[in-house]
Structure 1
Amino acid sequence: MSIFVSLLLILLLIVISAFLSCAEISIAAARKIRLEMMSKEGEQNADRVLALQAQPGNFFTVVQIGLNAVAILGGVVGEPALTPHIRGVLENFYQGAWLENISFAGSFLIVTSVFILFADLMPKRLAMAAPERAAVFLVKPMLVLENLFRPLVWFFNGLSKAFFTLLGLPQVRTEVITPSEIHAMMDAGAQAGVLLHQEHHLIENVFELETRYVPSAMTPRESIVYFLMNDSEETIRQKIIDHPHSRFLVCDGHIDAVLGYIDSKDVLKRLLKGERFSLNDKGLVHSPLSIPDSLNLWEVLERMKAMDEDLAIVVNEYALVVGIISITDVTGVLMGNLLSMPDEEQQIVRRDENSWLMDGLTPLGEVMNELDIEEYPNPVGYETLAGFIMYMLRKIPKKTDFVLFSDFKFEAVDIEGNKINQLLVTRFKQDKSDAPAKKEKPGEH
């Protein structure tokens, strides 16, 4: 066989091996979501790739048969074609006993290097750069090869299935996307510039609705402004003036006996018409939606949508009112730090690079995002920053009591009775191996 024919055969084998390598890596690396989008856009080959990914046994059998056959043929053709020529060159410099072995090793090294570079590395890197496009381009020839080698595929694939069944290994590819993977994709999109900073935060807040519960967003019991059935018109007017909310609960004697709520717009209409009003007026008091305090914010949205209500009364397991929550509270969580609020309304105010003033009712999720803390101890037991410091101290804190946690000092600076109004959070550096998890002001128990 002439050197020209041998080189031509080697080139053909390299092309075949490059095709199989490119097909292998592209079909394995193609993303299911992207393929489904291409399928909806009318790309029929995307459906074929999805089918191969779901049942990859026959495909990989064809690839391995082809790659191994090409590798063997490359050695068979390349060694006798190149060894004589390499020996002829080396004879000019060396004619010892090792000449034949050195010539063989040289031809083996050249053929192997060419196959590694042009038949393996370059095709795979090319396929990894655009796996979906490469997969849909190569899938039809691979299906032709699968039909062509069907007897061999059936034999080897049957053996592999038998071993998989014997060892109890999975044989079908399953695509399960976890929340962590979605967060990772969003972070990658934000870093690549595909997602704007605001879009990234908004999407993160959407997922946060499932992990945050009603107490973290509701107006707590002690902050609820409500009317009693025996309140006079003047009392009602004064409460509306002092507390310009859009809705007010109506109770019978005490806050746990809720009869409904009134909309301040209804009161305003009557005042503008010069009419007198009473809580006993028909149509003024609306029936309330009651929800348990164990719901997450996504469930609250679903419940409000189903009942066509935008205000709900939050009740605990003892049938006591613990707060109220409105659609505005939920959307406020959704918008998060995208909303611009005055400093006095913000729950987190940054003083400088290493210190913050935080409201005691600040939800833990917002604290974690601000301070970049990944996890709190026993996060199921509380929802707010005040709950965190009480859990860590195991008591109601006094002014200047503090907790050291995750490179931060949480110090109570404003206490009103048993209510923690404000905390000062400062960043510090310490040796975590010997730093205390919590600390109180000396002498206070």
Structure 2
Amino acid sequence: MVDLLNLFLLILASAIFAMSEIAVAAARKIKLMVMAEEGSTKAADILALQENPGAFFAMIQIGLNAIAIMGGILGEAALTPYIEELIQTVYQGPLLEKISFPISFLIITSLFILFADLLPKRLAMIMPESIAIKVITPMRWVTVALTPLVLFFNGITNAVLRSLKLPIAQKEVVTTEDIVATIGAGLDSGSVQPQELQIIENVFELEQRTLSSAMVPRDSIVYFDVADESADISQAIIDHPHNTFLVCDGGLDKLIGLIDSKEILITVLKGESARVSPDVINKNVFYLPETLSLADALNAFKTKPQQLAVVVNEYALIVGVVTVKDLLSGFMGELITPAGKELIVKRDQDSWIVDGMTPVGDVARHLDMDAFPDKNQYDTIAGFIIFKLKKLPKLTDHVVYSGYKFEVIDLEGVRIAQVLVTKVNSALG
């Protein structure tokens, strides 16, 4: 009976060692960091252990191998007599001992596989952080108790790794792909909403997307000229109810400053004609280079009180204007897009109307397709078409890529205003 009790304790000890090994290895660093920030010293200990796990794994392997050897020695003595008694009820011949031993061995091996390996490791994979928190303290005690052996085997392991020019410790680098993959797993489990995943993906794209993908391009800028008539100013505000307008003297390349539409409204409410009064023109214009990323542009807006910036190229020519709202729409997307102004509109089951200024990342995500090639060469779907055609397109010019046909269906001057995206099979049929 004592042998059976010892066998049970060995299985239990082996289960704890196996569970500890998997739990510490599988515990998620991000979750442990949150727990450590909330005051959990054990979570901090696990993080430290993950950075230098050599001694821990050496202790685990010493323990598991010692238990396996002891299990083999005690197992036969513990079970064989009971197996022999059981078999004697049906057989008492000369092969009794030879039959009892393999059956005893099979039972002991099965018990260790099931209760000392499979079940504890499965539990450790299901809830690694909570189990790691529970076992970290006793496992550290065992490590201290086995210090001589741990130092010996860990030292030999490190020497072998160094001789092979391999790292002896893990360098934990959390990439944007790791974070997006984690959030994607949350989407599959239902704990994260699709729009939340989209926002996070868009945030990481802010460093890759340039300002030109979010700005209002030059040919779409609505501005006032100092010589404009009252009727022209009023009609412009009615047609384009913006908060701020550029004020120029003969064209965009002679920018004077900015004016708030409310200043003109005040003039009208006083019973006067709508006009651009020189004393209300703000000459403190906020300029941004077009080569900035969206993230850099957002940071630049933090240092200025203006809500609108004039975008210029390397020759100091105005190429567009951008507002904070334009930048926010870069990662908020459809969540802040007014109804009727969607950039991607589904026409039927296999075709979509896409605004030419739509970022290629949004198009790829909407169509569930792979990323566009050479993304550093352009930001928008219009830029993709021009890049592939290697010329300024005409109406009906098209590009076929990744099972879709991208056809130019509307031009405003030389700018691609709208693109018809069609599945290739449907287009050919």
- TM-score, normalised relative to structure 2: 0.91
Q: What is the RMSD computed on CA atoms of the aligned residues?
A: 2.5
Give the distance between the partners of 1:346 and 1:100, measured in 2 at CA: 82
Structure 1, 98-107 or 260-269: larger mean CA deviation: 98-107
Asked whether 1:143 is paired with 2:122, we answer no
8 Å Cα contact 2:25/2:50 also seen in 1: yes
Give the distance between the partners of 1:168 and 1:401, measured in 2 at CA: 55
Asked whether 1:109 is paired with 2:94, we answer no
Instruction: Name 1:393's counterpart in structure 2.
Output: 389
* Superposed CA offset, 1:5-48 (max 9, x none): 21111111111111111111111111122122222333222222
8 Å Cα contact 1:212/1:365 also seen in 2: no
**1:186 aligned to 183, 187, 190, which one?**
183
Asked whether 1:155 is paired with 2:152, we answer yes
Kindly state the Cα deviation for residue 95 of structure 1 after the two structures are TM-superposed.
Answer: 4.2
Kindly state the Cα deviation for residue 135 of structure 1 after the two structures are TM-superposed.
Answer: 0.9
Give the distance between the partners of 2:259 and 2:271, measured in 1 at CA: 18
Q: Secondary structure at the match of 2:278?
A: coil
Kindly state the Cα deviation for residue 417 of structure 1 after the two structures are TM-superposed.
Answer: 4.3
Give the distance between the partners of 1:281 and 1:323, measured in 2 at CA: 23
Kindly state the Cα deviation for residue 198 of structure 1 after the two structures are TM-superposed.
Answer: 3.1
Q: Secondary structure at the match of 1:425?
A: strand
Instruction: Name 2:368's counterpart in structure 1.
Output: 372
5 Å matches for 1:15-30?
A: 15-30=12-27
Give the distance between the partners of 1:13 and 1:242, measured in 2 at CA: 83
In structure 2, give the amino acid aligned to 1:266.
E
Aligned length: 427
In structure 2, give the amino acid aligned to 1:53.
Q
Change (3 A) 1:100 1:368: same
**Identity percentage of aligned residues:** 47
Asked whether 1:226 is paired with 2:223, we answer yes
Give the distance between the partners of 1:46 and 1:363, measured in 2 at CA: 41
Change (3 A) 1:238 1:428: closer
8 Å Cα contact 1:396/1:418 also seen in 2: yes
Kindly state the Cα deviation for residue 401 of structure 1 after the two structures are TM-superposed.
Answer: 2.7
In structure 2, give the amino acid aligned to 1:351.
R
Instruction: Name 1:423's counterpart in structure 2.
Output: 419
Asked whether 1:339 is paired with 2:312, we answer no
In structure 2, give the amino acid aligned to 1:312.
A
Kindly state the Cα deviation for residue 146 of structure 1 after the two structures are TM-superposed.
Answer: 1.3
Give the distance between the partners of 1:224 and 1:339, measured in 2 at CA: 21
Q: Secondary structure at the match of 1:202?
A: helix
8 Å Cα contact 1:250/1:285 also seen in 2: no
8 Å Cα contact 2:264/2:276 also seen in 1: no
Change (3 A) 1:284 1:399: closer
* Superposed CA offset, 1:297-329 (max 9, x none): 111110001223221111112221110000111
Asked whether 1:78 is paired with 2:41, we answer no
Give the distance between the partners of 1:191 and 1:81, measured in 2 at CA: 49
Asked whether 1:130 is paired with 2:127, we answer yes
Give the distance between the partners of 2:369 and 2:310, measured in 1 at CA: 32
Give the distance between the partners of 1:8 and 1:416, measured in 2 at CA: 86
Asked whether 1:196 is paired with 2:219, we answer no
Asked whether 1:68 is paired with 2:65, we answer yes
Kindly state the Cα deviation for residue 402 of structure 1 after the two structures are TM-superposed.
Answer: 2.4
Instruction: Name 1:443's counterpart in structure 2.
Output: none
8 Å Cα contact 1:187/1:200 also seen in 2: yes
Structure 1, 221-230 or 99-108: larger mean CA deviation: 99-108
Change (3 A) 1:31 1:419: closer
* Stretches (4+) displaced over 6 A: none
Give the distance between the partners of 1:279 and 1:415, measured in 2 at CA: 32
5 Å matches for 1:30-429?
A: 30-87=27-84, 89-90=86-87, 92-93=90-91, 95=93, 100-231=97-228, 233=230, 235-274=232-271, 279=276, 281-339=278-336, 341-343=338-340, 345-429=341-425
Change (3 A) 1:158 1:416: closer
Kindly state the Cα deviation for residue 286 of structure 1 after the two structures are TM-superposed.
Answer: 3.8
Give the distance between the partners of 1:61 and 1:378, measured in 2 at CA: 47
Q: Secondary structure at the match of 2:279?
A: coil
8 Å Cα contact 1:279/1:285 also seen in 2: no
Give the distance between the partners of 1:188 and 1:147, measured in 2 at CA: 38
Q: Secondary structure at the match of 1:429?
A: helix
Structure 1, 204-213 or 119-128: larger mean CA deviation: 204-213
Give the distance between the partners of 1:273 and 1:280, measured in 2 at CA: 14
Change (3 A) 1:278 1:423: closer
Give the distance between the partners of 1:399 and 1:278, measured in 2 at CA: 40
Change (3 A) 1:50 1:286: same
* Superposed CA offset, 1:196-234 (max 9, x none): 233333333322323322111110000112223444555
Kindly state the Cα deviation for residue 101 of structure 1 after the two structures are TM-superposed.
Answer: 4.5
Give the distance between the partners of 2:262 and 2:46, measured in 1 at CA: 59
In structure 2, give the amino acid aligned to 1:5.
V
In structure 1, give the amino acid aligned to 2:419.
L
In structure 2, give the amino acid aligned to 1:359.
D
Q: Secondary structure at the match of 1:309?
A: coil
Kindly state the Cα deviation for residue 263 of structure 1 after the two structures are TM-superposed.
Answer: 1.2
Give the distance between the partners of 1:18 and 1:299, measured in 2 at CA: 53
Give the distance between the partners of 2:38 and 2:334, measured in 1 at CA: 37
Structure 1: where are the runs of 5+ without partners? 440-445
In structure 1, give the amino acid aligned to 2:357.
L
In structure 1, give the amino acid aligned to 2:160.
F
Give the distance between the partners of 2:358 and 2:54, measured in 1 at CA: 53
Structure 1, 61-70 or 264-273: larger mean CA deviation: 264-273
- TM-score, normalised relative to structure 1: 0.88
Q: Secondary structure at the match of 2:303?
A: helix
Give the distance between the partners of 1:52 and 1:380, measured in 2 at CA: 40
Structure 2: where are the runs of 5+ without partners? none
